[in-house]
């Protein structure tokens, strides 16, 4: 197959842990050709009256080959560089990292146009737009902790007064950025940073945020559970806070420990998996603290390499097998 990865600049990849690199490595092992471009390279042109032919969604792409190097910047070589119409490759993998900003949004519309022209895009561009990673959990409220989504300070303060120990986070953050914990003092008085944190995160009421009851089970890790084509991977990566941190995110210094899924992990993943797969989400990473779902990650889920290295479960092999099946299904239709 000809695979096109739409990703961040590949020269910036940390290949010892990068999930997109793991996908590429497994794909090359199976004989698939690897092409790369960035979201900024996507373009389309057309319009006008009769006889005005549209140019399909295309990008200047590089065909690369992995060299086998395990560090440094010599892990790939460029074999070819030329414009490609996305409909002319077998699969387009959208692996641009968050944030889901305006440019990411526009890229999903170009990718959806490529789908209309015959391209097979994973994850589905429409599904990417329909499942914002913080807010997607609201559909599955039976699995989540007490949660409030609001921009109003009064509502957030009421939620804080009810629960006494809460997490506040922006809806567009990643890697644990912008997350605050607010809790009552030993004497029962409010957290002295209550007002300033609310004002800062909401931009004085202009920006909607999420509040959730603090889950003390975070001490045992924020578990990343991967779901591939509706099927859970049997191991999660528990990202355990270090050095007094509240956040377990690896980007915030958390320690990643692979472990078998718990019964609750299986139950949540099996409930969500088929629903999300039916919407065109081939790869999903759900986050679970204790027995509560906290996020549904669809833009560029990670942790393939950490799980594989510690458990022996080859996550990239599972993913490429699922991708091969998905492409075969797309061709059949």
Joined tokens for residue 5:
């990865």
Judgement on whether residues 93 and 190 belong to the same structural domain of the protein? no
Pick from 159, 191, 213: which residue ends a domain?
A: 213
CATH code, domain with 71: 3.40.50.20
Judgement on whether residues 237 and 171 belong to the same structural domain of the protein? no
Strand partners, 182: 166
103 vs 95: CA distance, rounded Å:
14
Judgement on whether residues 16 and 107 belong to the same structural domain of the protein? yes
CATH code, domain with 195: 3.30.1490.20
Give me the percent of the chain exceeding a pLDDT of 90: 84
Residues 6+ apart with CB under 8 A from 74: 67
287 lies in some domain: yes
What is the crossing angle of helices 315-332 and 19-29, to 10°?
Answer: 70
Judgement on whether residues 202 and 288 belong to the same structural domain of the protein? no
Q: State yes or no: pLDDT of 210 exceeds 70.
A: yes
Pairing of strands 2-7, 91-95: parallel
Backbone angles phi, psi at 142, to 5 degrees: -65, -15
311 lies in some domain: yes
Number of domains composing the chain: 3
Joined tokens for residue 253:
């210094």
Q: Tell me the residue range of the domain where 176 lies.
A: 146-213
Question: Contact 280/124 with Cβ under 8 angstroms?
Answer: yes
CATH code, domain with 231: 3.30.470.20
Q: Note the pLDDT of residue 318.
A: 98
Burial class (CB in 10 A: 0-12, 13-18, 19+), 209: buried
- How confident is the model over 2-59, as pLDDT tens digits? 999 999 999 999 999 999 999 999 999 999 999 999 999 999 998 876 655 679 999 9
43 lies in some domain: yes
Question: Contact 120/86 with Cβ under 8 angstroms?
Answer: no
70 vs 286: CA distance, rounded Å:
29
38 lies in some domain: yes
Judgement on whether residues 119 and 11 belong to the same structural domain of the protein? yes
> ∠ CA 13-314-130 to the nearest 5 degrees?
65
333 lies in some domain: no
Pick from 184, 213, 242: which residue ends a domain?
A: 213
Q: Annotate 14-33 with b (16+ C-beta within 10 A) or e (fewer).
A: ebebbbbbbbbbbbbeeebb
* Average pLDDT over every residue of 118-139: 96
Q: Which residue has the higher pLDDT, 310 or 187?
A: 310
Judgement on whether residues 116 and 203 belong to the same structural domain of the protein? no
User: 293 pLDDT band (50/70/90 cuts)?
Assistant: very high
> ∠ CA 298-300-303 to the nearest 5 degrees?
105
Of 39-43, 116-120, 246-250, the range with the lowest mean pLDDT is: 246-250
267 lies in some domain: yes
DSSP character at residue 244: T
Q: State yes or no: pLDDT of 310 exceeds 60.
A: yes
User: 186 pLDDT band (50/70/90 cuts)?
Assistant: confident
328 lies in some domain: no
pTM: 0.93
Judgement on whether residues 271 and 198 belong to the same structural domain of the protein? no
Question: Contact 262/328 with Cβ under 8 angstroms?
Answer: no
Q: Which residue has the higher pLDDT, 199 or 99?
A: 199
The residues assigned a catalytic role are: 134, 169, 224, 239, 247, 287, 295, 297
SS (H, E, C) 103-166: HHHHHHHHHHHHHHCCCCEECCHHHHHHCCCCHHHHHHHHHECCEEEECCHHHHHHHHHHHCEE
> ∠ CA 235-240-246 to the nearest 5 degrees?
140
């Amino acid at each position: 197959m000809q695979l096109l990865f739409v990703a961040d600049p590949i020269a910036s990849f940390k290949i010892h842990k990068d999930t997109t690199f793991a996908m590429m490595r497994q794909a090359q092992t199976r004989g698939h050709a690897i092409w790369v471009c960035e979201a900024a390279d996507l373009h389309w042109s057309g319009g006008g009256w009769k006889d005005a032919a549209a140019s399909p969604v295309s990008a200047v792409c590089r065909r690369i080959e992995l060299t086998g190097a395990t560090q440094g910047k010599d892990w790939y070589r460029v074999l070819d560089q030329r414009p490609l119409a996305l409909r002319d490759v077998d699969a387009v993998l959208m692996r641009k990292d968050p944030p889901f900003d305006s440019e990411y949004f526009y890229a999903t519309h170009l990718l959806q146009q490529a789908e209309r022209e015959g391209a097979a895009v994973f994850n589905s561009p429409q599904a990417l737009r329909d499942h914002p990673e913080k807010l997607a959990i609201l559909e599955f409220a039976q699995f989540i902790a007490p949660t409030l989504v609001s921009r109003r300070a009064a509502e957030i303060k009421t939620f804080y007064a009810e629960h006494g120990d809460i997490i506040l986070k922006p809806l567009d953050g990643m890697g644990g950025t912008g997350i605050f914990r607010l809790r009552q003092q030993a004497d029962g008085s409010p957290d002295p940073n209550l007002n300033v944190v609310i004002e800062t995160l909401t931009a004085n009421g202009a920006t909607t945020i999420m509040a959730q009851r603090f889950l003390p089970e975070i001490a045992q890790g924020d578990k990343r559970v991967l779901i591939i084509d509706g099927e859970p991977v049997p191991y999660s990566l528990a990202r355990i806070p270090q050095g007094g941190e509240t956040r377990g995110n690896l980007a915030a210094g958390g320690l990643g420990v692979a472990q078998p899924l718990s019964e609750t992990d299986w139950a949540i993943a099996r409930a969500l998996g088929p629903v999300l797969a039916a919407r065109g989400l081939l790869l999903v990473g759900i986050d679970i603290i204790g027995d509560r779902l906290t996020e549904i990650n669809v833009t560029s889920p990670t942790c393939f390499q950490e799980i594989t290295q510690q458990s022996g479960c080859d996550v990239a092999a599972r993913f490429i097998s699922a991708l091969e099946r998905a492409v075969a299904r797309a061709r059949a239709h």
